[in-house]
Amino acid sequence: MTNLVDTCHTGNDTPLISVIIVNWNGQQWLKKCLDSLIQQTYKHIEIIVVDNGSLDGSVDFIRSQYPSVKQVLNNKNMGFGGGNNSGISKAEGKLVLLLNSDAWVDPELAEELVKEKNLRNLDVIGPLEADYWSKEKREPYSTHIDLLGHPVFLTPPHPTRPSLYLTGVCLLFDKSLYEATGGFDSNFFMYCEEVDWFWRLNLLGKTFDYSHKLFVYHAGGGSNGEMLNTKMFLWRNQNTLQMLLKNYSLWSLAWVLPLYFAQNGIEMLFFLTQCKVKIAFTYVMGWGFCLSNLPGILKRRRPIQRDRAKDDKAIMSRMYIGSGKAVHLVHKYK
């Protein structure tokens, strides 16, 4: 039986960190992930694994090998956003650390991340990514979206500028901030959840950045396997359009949406010429999803637009001016 770090309040001023791990059929990753948390030099930690209806024995594995780890058991797959929301609702810590199940961290990660967050007066901080197996560190990068919502990783020789969002592999923030800003949108099953939240943080004038020295070792794809075809395209098309509708002003939507739908049309034609009819149809399905859910999207849009402290010009200054999908294709075929 594994001994865990003390997860109780100790009465001192050191804040409790609630680590939230969302798992779906990821038992193969859990031992290394949980062991790396147990070895943390920061001892005031509770570990919460949110299981999204796994069928691979993950729940029993944790129950038998890590009995002090709390489990939140969902009877269906609620996705990344919904899973994290259910875990954070059970968190007792002042601070929340999100960590992907297919990732692990060095023993000093939590302690040093808290110090750096406080020293730099950041609302949210996340480590940079390194390779899960070799520990090879990625070259310095910043993360953005283009004007139509497609994510872009920029590395030298691109000019250095503040990231528009931080990747959701590992993030540290106050639970009160998450709750006050609405957290991840549970209507986003997978894809763009963190981008949508950070867009909101930008609008509210919150501060965030990657660590200057800390890394998380990430495999990638641990919770969604190889589903990079029809389902991934559908989630992307649903969520990108929702994100644009919620966060842009009406004036910006008036010219962004025609560009967005024109790009969608070009991509649909491309996939049809490649005989990938199912993928092409995900664009229509994404539009239909947003149309059928429009009342809910507009309801979530209202407080965002009401409370915003920055205009779209300030947000666009952090965006990539160009086609993020073109950048993605160039990197893919290099």
Q: What is the CATH number of the domain that holds 110?
A: 3.90.550.10
CA angle 144, 146, 147 (to 5 degrees): 130
Map residue 248 onto helix, strand or coil: coil
State what percent of residues in the chain have pLDDT above 90: 84
Interval 263-305: pLDDT, tens:
999 999 999 999 999 999 999 999 999 999 999 999 999 999 9
Query: Is residue 244 assigned to a domain?
Result: yes
Of the candidate ranges 55-64, 157-166, 204-213, 277-286, the one whose mean pLDDT is the lowest: 157-166
In terms of domains, do 165 and 136 share one?
Answer: yes
Rounded CA separation 132/135 (Å): 6
In terms of domains, do 30 and 135 share one?
Answer: yes
Report the pLDDT value the prediction gives residue 8, as an integer from 0 to 100. 43
Of the candidate ranges 126-135, 154-163, 166-175, the one whose mean pLDDT is the lowest: 154-163
Query: Is residue 225 assigned to a domain?
Result: no
What DSSP designation does 160 have?
P
Measure CA 137 to chain center: 20
Cβ-in-10-Å burial (0-12, 13-18, 19+) of 254 comes to exposed
In terms of domains, do 212 and 255 share one?
Answer: no
Band (3; pLDDT cuts 50, 70, 90)? very low
Map residue 250 onto helix, strand or coil: helix
Band (187; pLDDT cuts 50, 70, 90)? very high
Rounded CA separation 181/19 (Å): 19
Q: Which one-letter amino acid corresponds to residue 98? A: L
Q: Which one-letter amino acid corresponds to residue 108? A: E
In terms of domains, do 234 and 148 share one?
Answer: no
Residue in 221, 172, 216 with CA at minimum distance from that of residue 33: 216
Interval 200-243: pLDDT, tens:
999 999 999 999 999 999 997 545 444 447 999 999 999 999 99
Q: Is 168 a residue whose pLDDT tops 90?
A: yes
In terms of domains, do 200 and 264 share one?
Answer: no
In terms of domains, do 172 and 258 share one?
Answer: no
Rounded CA separation 45/28 (Å): 23
Q: How many domains does the chain have?
A: 2
**Largest Cα–Cα distance of the chain, in whole Å?**
65
In terms of domains, do 70 and 177 share one?
Answer: yes
Of the candidate ranges 44-48, 138-142, 248-252, the one whose mean pLDDT is the lowest: 138-142
HSE-CB at 67 with a 13 A cutoff on CA atoms is 4
Among residues 155, 186, 218, which one ends one of the domains? 218
In terms of domains, do 122 and 208 share one?
Answer: yes
Which ranges of 66-126 would DSSP assign to H, the alpha helix? 79-88, 109-119
What DSSP designation does 95 have?
E
Query: Is residue 316 assigned to a domain?
Result: yes
Among residues 218, 253, 285, which one ends one of the domains? 218
Of the candidate ranges 9-13, 26-30, 136-140, the one whose mean pLDDT is the lowest: 9-13
In terms of domains, do 195 and 110 share one?
Answer: yes
Among residues 167, 183, 218, which one ends one of the domains? 218
Domain hosting residue 66, numbered range: 17-218
In terms of domains, do 235 and 203 share one?
Answer: no
Rounded CA separation 20/48 (Å): 5
* Beta-sheet pairing, 170-174 with 124-131: antiparallel
Report the pLDDT value the prediction gives residue 12, as an integer from 0 to 100. 57
Rounded CA separation 293/318 (Å): 29
Cβ-in-10-Å burial (0-12, 13-18, 19+) of 330 comes to exposed
Spell out the residues 6+ positions from residue 132 whose beta carbon is closer than 8 angstroms to its own.
102, 103, 104, 217, 218, 219, 220
